[in-house]
Each structure stands twice: as structure tokens, then as C-alpha cells.
Chain A
Amino acid sequence: MTHLKTGIYKIKQIFLAIVFFGVIIAVGQPFCAAKEVKLDYRLKWLFNTSVAGDIYADAKGFFAAKELKVNVKEGSPEKNAIKELELGYADFGVASADQVIRALSKGAKVVVIAQLFQVNPMQWIYRADKPEIKVPADLKGRNIGVTFGGNDETIMNTLLARAGLLKSEVKITGVRFDFTPFFKRKVEVWPVYRNSQGVILKTRLAKEGEDVLFFNPADFGIKFVANSVVTSQSMVEKNPDIVARFLTALLGAWEAAMAPENEAVCLEVVKRLDKGNSDEIRQKQLVVTRTLIKPADNIRIGTIDVDAWKQTEAIMLKEKQIKKAVFIEKHLILP
């Protein structure tokens, strides 16, 4: 009988303990959740190595460490981060400089808080058995691929103008994602994103015994800014703390992702989302991405190159992509 009473007493104690902890957890949960801020972050492109830092920030808890719950959303050609900021579908996003400047020229209230690519990955690939392009004037007489309406067209136009070449002195061919004209040698110089398509093409042609070279407009003084992190003007004004936490977490993750000692971990987290490429391709892509995101040890990831932004705006003005100056430097949030 005594044993039975003791048993019942113990069960009561356990039950009370469960209720007590249950109440603590239930009461405590809203307070914990209240601290965590939910954000949407729209990337510019599909999940692959060129967004390694963004994936790394999510996978390795950089956002969580800053009490942020960030939904990192894959981009695509149809998606536009700046429009999503305005429509409230995203809180932060990645956009190219031409997108930012064009949006500002049409009244969008967007600001740049970090510049991810220090070197524009938009470059041109050509076969090594063709004469090397040492100076822009070497483009004379070549069949050059450009995406009509894309920023590579703007860059090429600027390059040709600087080289003093008329459009009639080269052959410009409109291109898309299908590389067949390049493989068939119909188009000699083909625009690629150096760290993604460039790596794939180089590897593929190497297997056919062909070597390739890349033509980088930045080597000839054309600084056209690529992907940058953007947010709305109101976000910066109303929630500077969230912006600071987001940026610290994101850039910290990019630094970690680009560190050679973290390469294996970085490739592992990218692999989870990028199923379309082989391990070999992803590794090569990461090596090239590193040179574009952090070209030198003394360059801090995210550094906004104001001169490059001004030059991008000047190019767009000259190419009549925008009607009047937007004074881009006023929309760059420097640390």
C-alpha cells in the first residue's frame, strides 16, 4: 500500500514537472520568436557557386546568429529583386548596377548596401587557336556575340567606342543561352559569366582538346558594376538595426565561404542546392568566383567601388539607357 502511494506520488511529481516545463516553453516561445526577424532575400540568379556566400549564410547559421530568419529565394531571368522590394515580396535582394540605375531613373526608392562582385563576371570567351585579343582594337573583323538588350551589349558598345571601332568593322551577332553557334564556330567571341558558364564551356572544350581564353573588359578600363545587395530606402530609414545585422551576417558568410580553408564545407552546402553541376565544375567555379568577389586579400568583401558605379552610370547615360543622371553616389550606403 505504501509502495502504491509512493508510486502515485512520483507520477504526480513527474506530471507536475512536465506541466511546469510545458508552461515555461509555451510562455517563453513567443518571446524567443519575437526576437527573431523574418526576412525575404531575393537572389538574382539560380542557386549555384556564384551565390555561394548567400547559401553559406543560410546553411551555416550566420543569419540565425544575428536572430534573423532569412528566406533565401532563388533568382531567375524573370525575377527582379528591385520590383519585389517595392511590392513587398522581398526585404533585401541582389541586383546588377544597370538594374539599380534604371530603377532609380524611374523613381524607385532603392539603395545599395554592398557590392558583391568587385570584378564583373560578364566576360567574353574565345578559342585559343584564334589571335589573342590583347587590346580592344584586336576585336576588329571578329564575329562578336552580344545579348541584345543585355548589359553585355552596353559594355561591348562602350568598348568598341573606346577602341575607336565602328560597328561596321566588327560583326555583331545576337546570342542567348544556347551555345551552339559558339561550338560550331559561327560566333567567334561569346559572352559568358566567367565564373559559371565560362567554367563549364572551358571544361567542355578542354575535353574536346580545345583551349580557350577570356576577354575581360575590366582589363581595358571598363568598370561596369555587377551584382550588389540592395534594399528599399524605407528599410534603411526605419530599420537600420535589421539592415546592419543582415549585412554583417551576409558579408561574414561571404568571407567564410570564400576562404580557401573552408572550400570543402562551402562546396558541400552549395551542392545541396545546385544539383545541375558536377563536383569538378563546382570546385572550378568556386575558385573563379573567389577571384571576382575578393580579388585581393586587402579588399573587404562587399566594398562599394564608388568610381565604378559612377562609370557605370556614365556609360548608361552615353548609351541612352537612362535619360538623365541619377547621381548614383547618393544611393550607395557606405559603411
Chain B
Amino acid sequence: MLFRRIYQFLIVYCVGILFLLMIKYAFSLSNYVIPGIGGIIEIAGQVAPTYIYDVFNTLSVTILGQLISIIMAFTVGIAGRKSSWIGSFIKVTAYNIQAYPIVALAPIIFILLGDGFLSRLLIASMICYFPLLLSVLGVMAAPVRDIEHFYIVTGRMRWQLEVKIRAFENLSKLVTVIAGSATLAMAGTIVAEFIAADAGIGYGIRIALYQSDLAKIFVALFLIGIVISIYQGMLETIGENIKSKWSISKGDMLL
């Protein structure tokens, strides 16, 4: 799973670079518009140590941001699963907050939290959590009638049990969404760094853009792609392990 993710990314990246190089040579564009392969390698040698550190800095915020968004999404999703007034209020609030573009909210966040770690974390969480919330709401709001019926008629149903049944029955879906949300968390962190931060790969990209240095952007994109592929691959592997363990325990229960 992990290696497949990496080589798939490498294929996509190389195809993208080759396409740009084809355009460069077909239209005789200068290195200022699209850098040559030699230039990219040279720049990679210069900036790689800094950018590797920056990407891991971004990844650390991404992981934390994703964790927060998972907690937020499950809390809101579980609280909002009922079609009660509170449930519908939570959903509407969540939808509304997501409707505001993050670039408009960013200045308010920066005034309150400054342009450091906390702002990056909050923005990463905000961008990541909404798709998670939708999935969690979808899972938690859909009853598993066959199983739940038994507990309801025997009077043993509690909200914790309801949540467990629904999560267990939709585990595959939840794992896929959580793994997929890693890219959103990464994108959110990079956006936050791009808008206002003084660390991370998003900040590095911003400086490279100031200098119209596309070679640096290519290096940054490569590192982001590799790191996110590894991270996502790891999440998927963990998810597969959890699923197989739960399947075994489910089988044991049935036996």
C-alpha cells in the first residue's frame, strides 16, 4: 500500500514535469518561465535540506490539525446525529462556518492568535474537518436497524452503544475518509503558511513565488507529494490493520 502510493506519486510527478519540459522546448521558453531539468536539480541540491525540514514542520502541524479535526468532526457528528433542535443547530453552524472562505477568516484568526503555530493549526483543522464532519454525520445519522432494533426492544440501548454500532458497521467508509482527509489537512496547513506564517513549506513557496523561482516550487511540490504519500499510505495501512482485526473479532462474535 505504502510503496504503491509512493511510486504512483512519482509517476504523476514525472509526467507533470515532462509535460512542462515539452512545452518549454516546444515553445523555446527561457529558464525564467520554466526551468530546465539541470536547473531544477541544481536548485534541489541547494534548497533540499531547508525544504525537507520545512516539509516535516508542515507535516507535524498537519498531523495535529487532522487529529483535532477528527475529534471535532466526531464530537459534532455524534452530537448532531439526532434530528433534534440542538442537532440541527450544530449542523447549520458547522455548514455556515465552512461556507466562509478561509482567506477572509484568516486576518481575524491572525489578530486573535498571531501568525505562528496556533493559526496554522486552526486553519489546517478548519479546512480538514468539514469533509470528515459530513461523513461522520452521514454515518451517525443512519441507523443500523437490524442490530439496533434488538437493543431498543430489550431496553439496553444507550447513546454510546448506538455510536459504536454505527461506527463498527461503517468502519471501512470512516477509514477511507480519515486517510483522505490527510491531504486536506496538509493543504490547509500550507494555505495557512502561505497566508501568514514564518515557517513551513507554504512559507518557503511564498518566498519562491516572490522571486519567480519555479524550480524551487517544483522541489517543494516533490517533497510535499512524497511526504503526504508516505503519511497517507501509513494511515491506510493502519486502517487496514484495524479493519482486519475488527473483522476477526466480529467473526469470533458470530461464532
Q: Give A residues with C-beta under 8 Å from B.
A: 77-78, 80, 82-83, 86-87, 99, 102-103, 106-109, 147-150, 174, 176, 178, 180, 321
Contact = CB atoms under 8 A, between A and B. Distances in A.
Contact of A102 (B35, B198, B211): B211
A87 B210 contact: no
Contacts of B30: 86, 103, 106-109
A106 B207 contact: no
B210 to A, nearest CB: 4
A106 B42 CA distance: 13
Given A83-B212, A149-B211, A178 B32 contact: no
A107 B110 CA distance: 40
Contacts of A176: 115, 195-196
Given A147-B210, A150-B210, A174-B198, A83 B33 contact: yes
Given A174-B198, A178-B107, A178-B196, A102 B32 contact: yes
Given A174-B198, A178-B107, A86 B33 contact: yes
A80 B212 contact: yes
Contact of A107 (B32, B107, B198, B211): B32
Given A176-B196, A178-B196, A180-B110, A149 B32 contact: no
Contacts of A180: 107, 110-111
Interface of chain A: mostly helix, strand, loop or mixed: loop
A178 B29 contact: no
A77 B209 CA distance: 9
Interface of B: 27, 29-33, 35, 39, 107, 110-111, 115, 195-196, 198, 206-212
Given A83-B33, A106-B39, A178-B115, 4 more contacts: A82-B212, A103-B32, A108-B30, A149-B206
Interface centre among A77, A87, A106 (most CB of B within 10 A): A106
17 contacts: A83-B32, A86-B30, A99-B212, A103-B32, A106-B30, A106-B39, A107-B30, A108-B30, A108-B32, A109-B30, A149-B206, A149-B207, A176-B196, A178-B107, A178-B110, A178-B115, A180-B110
Interface centre among B35, B195, B207, B212 (most CB of A within 10 A): B212
A207 B39 CA distance: 51
Given A178-B110, A180-B111, A86 B210 contact: no
Contacts of A78: 209
Nearest to B111: A180
Nearest to A95: B212
A125 B196 CA distance: 21
